[in-house]
Structure 1
Amino acid sequence: MLEVKNLAKAYAGRQILKDISFTLKDGQIMTIVGPSGAGKTTLLRIIAGLESKDSGEILIDGKEDLTQVGVVFQDYNLFPNLNVLENITLAPKLVLKKSKEEAEKEAMTLLDRLQMKGREKQYPFQLSGGQKQRVAIARALAMKPKILCYDEPTSALDPNLRVEVEKLIVSLKETGLTQLIITHDLAFAENVADQMLKVKPLSEA
């Protein structure tokens, strides 16, 4: 279970987040919606341990351990010089100390699940936006996160691909994965969410 308690963050004297609190149960999907400037991405980055908070608590199963959080970035952040399989297996080999064989076996299982089997030798420039996103999801899942966060997963996708992303996120929920999604797409947010958190710029609060 993810618990966020009274989270606050300011940049250069400007308050971005103030007293943000919520609870996300295991296996559920939360969407965080709001306009640009509301602090959605800042909130995600703090939960993922990529930025520091000014105050508050972030607890996973009662402990402040953000190593269990994976992130799928808006621009995917795939390594252009590595093929799909190499992108997915790099961190498990370096961080989790898995053998090449074990990492590749698990990566192929993920690619199969995400309907990307047969593309493991392709490079990011050979993939569509939706395919890059699936590789980014596979790369995050390869690290066995307890919680997977997405930053605007539908922003660069056409309506047909948005529906595919919805199906994919719901299918991952069926595996027991807890998911946190930052989005400005209200219809998408309502379709996938067990619960929704609406944020707005503090100047409007």
Structure 2
Amino acid sequence: MLELKNITKKYGNRTIINNLNAQIKDNEIMCIVGPSGAGKTTLLRCISGLEKIDQGQFILDGKVFDPTSNDENVIGVVFQDFQLFPNLTVMQNITLAPELVLKESKAEARQRAQKLIDQLNLTGKEDLYPYQLSGGQKQRVAIVRALAMNPKIICYDEPTSALDPNLRDEVANIIIGLKQTEVTQIIVTHDMDFAKKVADDMLQVQPVK
């Protein structure tokens, strides 16, 4: 379980998140919702270690945890704009980090990647480049790339914002299906219908006054 205790984040004199507390249970889907300017993405960036908090603690499985170190690749991130490398194929995008960071052999990385590719219905796309993929396919590649690092937690920033409405249900089904892999998922979204479909729990945030 991931616990957020008295999390505070400031930019200069402006407080974005103030003494926030939450618990995210293992293998559950938590959606962070709220109006624009409430700090949803900032909170996600703090959880994933892309931003440092000013006060508070993250506690993972009963132990204080610093997401900014993330030495064990505990947390994976699926960005809003996917951030795939345009000069690499689907397979290369997925296997790059496992080879460089986890020190997997090329064969090991490809074998694991292929299983995930098959699981997320991307079979046959291995040698394509990002520009040859649809938005929904790019989203799935980004999810596979995060899963390939074998994280305990995956964070998503607005996973449906760049997709056509008819692809929203496809992404929802993928995220729900990933519960079988026993990965905890944290999702920032403005899409309440999507949140209601996928979430085991919701964290509503409001702008700090």
Match of 1:184 in 2: 190
Correspondence 1:19-38 to 2 at 5 A: 19-38=19-38
Structure 1 residue 123: Cα displacement: 0.3
Correspondence 1:150-169 to 2 at 5 A: 150-169=156-175
Distance in 1 separating the partners of 2:88 and 2:106: 15
Distance in 2 separating the partners of 1:106 and 1:174: 16
Match of 2:39 in 1: 39
Q: Look up the SS of the partner of 2:181 in the other structure.
A: coil
Match of 1:174 in 2: 180
TM-score, structure 1 normalization: 0.97
Name the % identity. Answer: 62
Distance in 2 separating the partners of 1:18 and 1:110: 38
- One-letter amino acid matched to 1:120: E
Match of 2:11 in 1: 11
Structure 1 residue 34: Cα displacement: 1.0
Aligned: 1:109 with 2:118: no
Distance in 2 separating the partners of 1:41 and 1:108: 31
Compared with structure 1, are the counterparts of its residues 12 and 65 closer, same or farther at alpha carbon in structure 2 (3 Å cutoff)?
A: closer
Correspondence 1:116-135 to 2 at 5 A: 116-135=122-141
Return 5+ residue gaps in structure 1 as ranges. none
Distance in 1 separating the partners of 2:78 and 2:133: 16
Distance in 2 separating the partners of 1:140 and 1:59: 22
TM-score, structure 2 normalization: 0.95
Structure 1 residue 60: Cα displacement: 1.5
- One-letter amino acid matched to 2:14: R
Q: Look up the SS of the partner of 2:202 in the other structure.
A: strand
Once the two structures are superposed, what CA deviation does each residue of 1:6-25 show, in whole Å capped at 9, x if it has no partner? 10001021000001111111
Runs of 4+ in 1 over 6 A off after TM superposition: none
The counterpart of 1:194, out of the listed 185, 190, 200, is 200
- The alignment's C-alpha RMSD in Å is 0.8
- One-letter amino acid matched to 1:56: G
The counterpart of 2:89, out of the listed 63, 83, 88, is 83
